[in-house]
Amino acid sequence: MIDYQEILDGIASNCLTATEKGKIATYIPELSKVDDSKFGIHLVDNSKNNYSAGDSDELFSIQSISKVLSLGQAMSLVGEDLWKRVDVEPSGDPFNHLSLLEMENGIPRNPLINAGAIVVADILISNLENPKLEFLNYVRELTNDNSINFDIEVAKSEKETGYRNYAAANLLKSYGNLKNDVETVLDFYFHQCSLKMSCSQLTKAFYPFMNKGVCQQGKTFLTVRQEKRINALMLTCGFYDEAGEFAFEVGLPGKSGVGGGIVALLPGKYCVATWAPGLNAKGNSKLGMEALEKLTTATAQSIF
Ligand code: DON
């Protein structure tokens, strides 16, 4: 039997003493305040056994990890119609690049780059009465945890410096691929990205993606087909222009955020989240990626 706890303890002790930690994101000023010495990891297996090490219960800004959760909610609400407005191809570009969006007439390459997630936000706004609250409630229900909340300071901070997202939203609007106001959509998007969660809460939120759409409490959030599709998107697009490297080194579907979090999962087996605020040159958590490579190597468990 695999001793997950022993493996996580080894990974955490390596990461907590690492000297090359990567660089904290500063383009959202509020994120630059985070302590770069943090490291947390939490794993839940298919029998709901939990293993953790380091700062696994500390809250951090989940940023782009939220794009998977908003996508899940939007797919439940509008089904296949979503794909008329967003494609499902990897971009091979950084998360905030705009050139493909212009070349492809306002249809974002996939829902996990910023432009795609902004279209998903627009879809949620059109289909929910109180979008921010209903999205927050969706995440609270997925995790069975009502303490989860937005970080208003982070949302405000991103709004003040969100020039590229304003550019993306305006470009989408010019192509008719945004139905609501740019301000309304970005207000929602900045709030969704500001969600504060811990590694342990993230593994609960992503449990349905490794468990055929069913959360730990037994409620079904996604169909099996939707779960398959979201995992395919995480594998091919979850790490932007480093998706190939993540598949190559780690071999799991996953999603990163510029707050330094990563969630990854092995369908039917386990869901794991890491947090290490320092990012590599591609904007993904440096130590988080290294930790997950060690996990799939030590356990010999990946999708490949
Ligand atoms: O839109 C942004 O730039 C941020 N709210 C999220 C970016 C992000 O997390 C990219 N992920 N690695």
| Domain boundaries of the chain, sorted by first residue | 4-298
Chunked into runs of 10 residues, the chain (304 residues) has average pLDDT values of 96 93 95 95 97 98 98 96 97 90 95 98 98 98 98 97 97 98 98 98 98 97 97 97 97 98 98 98 96 97 96
pLDDT at 222: 97
pLDDT at 1: 86
Q: Which of 4, 138, 207, 240 is catalytic?
A: 240
What is the architecture of the domain spanning 4-298? 3-Layer(aba) Sandwich (3.40)
How many H-runs (helices) and E-runs (strands) does the chain carry? 13, 7
Residues 6+ apart with CB under 8 A from 136: 148, 149, 150, 195
Q: What is the pTM of this model?
A: 0.98
CA distance 78 to 247: 29
Token readout for 156 is 């405000």
Look up 270 and say whether it is catalytic.
no
Ligand 1 atom nearest 256 alpha carbon: 12
Look up 4 and say whether it is catalytic.
no
Ligand 1: residue of 61, 258, 263, 280 to mutate (most ligand atoms within 8 A of CB) is 258
Q: Which of 52, 56, 61, 64 is catalytic?
A: 64
Residue 39 CA, ligand 1 centroid: distance in Å: 20
Torsion 216-217-221-224 (CA) sign = positive
pLDDT at 267: 98
Token readout for 53 is 């090490």
pLDDT at 85: 98
pLDDT at 153: 97
Ligand 1 atom nearest 63 alpha carbon: 9
